[in-house]
Amino acid sequence: MLNLSALFYTEVESEPCLFGNLSLRDEDRKDIAEAKNEVRMALRDGIPRIYAAEGHPGKVPQPRFFTQGSWAYKTLNAPAQRPQQADVDDGCYLPLSFLTQTDSPSVAAEVFFGVAERALADLVEERGWELSGKSTCIRVEISDLAHIDIPLYAIPDNEFETLVKAENVRRAALKGIRNFAEAATDSWEELPKTKVLLAHREEGWMHSDPRPVKEWFVDQVETKGVQLRRVVRYIKAYRDWTWKSGGPSSILLMAAAAPLFVKQDRRDDQALLDVVKQLPAALRCASS
């Protein structure tokens, strides 16, 4: 087979390649990261304040956050064509006692969504962003290029307190380090693998923990090498150029491709070909 690997990936910075063209520009990544931190700060301060001001029962502490999805997996591509946008998922966590302060879990979920959206309203207006909602998250569209999705979660109170203490320790250790706020809230280790509930606008609360998928993919990359991550991004790029919207989901493509991947030293072209030859059958099995 003709060696076309350099067209896909090269470590020579002056040489153009597909992988380099898939990445967000440094300034765009910086803008997205800064917007994500602004959203976090608005929710961290605003949720307890607005919850109390509106006279809801009990007290809600400042939420904690965990980035998930392609930004966390490091498989995020720049948008290929309009109306596509870079999608950043940033989970917002509160203690489970929040659910017990109303007679119905669905009411608690509705309150959580409403308070969080009002906590973001001033920031969104000030920055000229757009606020909208999906069934399982709040969406903040920060530009034509990107949006931030904020799913809302509840975890057991004692475990939430463990997170608070762990974050305070990390904040003290990281004091003075640039961008420490993001680093201090992105650790997944302190969140125990027990009960995690996701707020749903119509269904109240549903069991959903995003960590197993991330941990599985991180393990796959550690075991098989970073070439796997590049192959997933090539496949996602093909999806994005084939469908302006819709098409197979990123998580489906990632989950289908990883078991098929076999490392090919310095041959991204061969590694990609080996996966895509088997991918249609894998996707048919997944959909059946």
pLDDT in tens, 170-220: 555 545 544 433 433 444 444 455 578 999 999 888 988 888 898 999 999
How do residues 56-74 score in pLDDT, each as one tens digit? Answer: 888 888 999 988 999 999 9
Q: What percent of the chain stands above pLDDT 70? A: 86
Helices and strands (DSSP H and E) totals, the chain: 11, 8
How do residues 124-170 score in pLDDT, each as one tens digit? Answer: 999 999 999 899 999 999 999 999 999 999 988 777 776 666 666 55
Q: How confident is the model at residue 76 (pLDDT cuts 50, 70, 90)?
A: very high
Q: How confident is the model at residue 276 (pLDDT cuts 50, 70, 90)?
A: very high
Q: What is the pLDDT of residue 200?
A: 94
| Higher-scoring residue by pLDDT: 37, 108 | 37
Element (H, E) at 198: strand 197-200
Q: What is the pLDDT of residue 288?
A: 65
CA dist 259 and 237 (Å) reads 19
Q: What is the pLDDT of residue 103?
A: 62
Residue 246, pLDDT above cutoff 80: yes
Lowest mean pLDDT among 27-41, 143-157, 192-206, 249-263: 192-206
Q: What is the pLDDT of residue 181?
A: 36
Q: What is the mean pLDDT of the chain?
A: 87
Q: What is the pLDDT of residue 260?
A: 97
Question: Per-residue pLDDT averaged across 1-30, rounded?
Answer: 92
Q: What is the pLDDT of residue 170?
A: 55
Each domain of the chain, given as residue ranges in start order, spans 23-209, 211-288
Residue 123, pLDDT above cutoff 90: yes
Q: Name the 3-class secondary structure at 248.
A: coil
How do residues 12-23 score in pLDDT, each as one tens digit? Answer: 878 899 999 999
The stretches of 102-226 forming alpha helices (DSSP H) are 105-127, 157-174, 180-183, 211-224
Residue 266, pLDDT above cutoff 90: yes
Q: What is the pLDDT of residue 46?
A: 97
Q: What is the pLDDT of residue 178?
A: 46
Q: What is the pLDDT of residue 102?
A: 66
Element (H, E) at 134: strand 130-134
Residue 269, pLDDT above cutoff 70: yes
CATH number of this structure's domain 23-209: 3.30.460
Q: What is the pLDDT of residue 60?
A: 84
> Strand pairing partners for 94?
154
- Pairing state between β 146-150 and 86-95: parallel
Q: How confident is the model at residue 99 (pLDDT cuts 50, 70, 90)?
A: confident
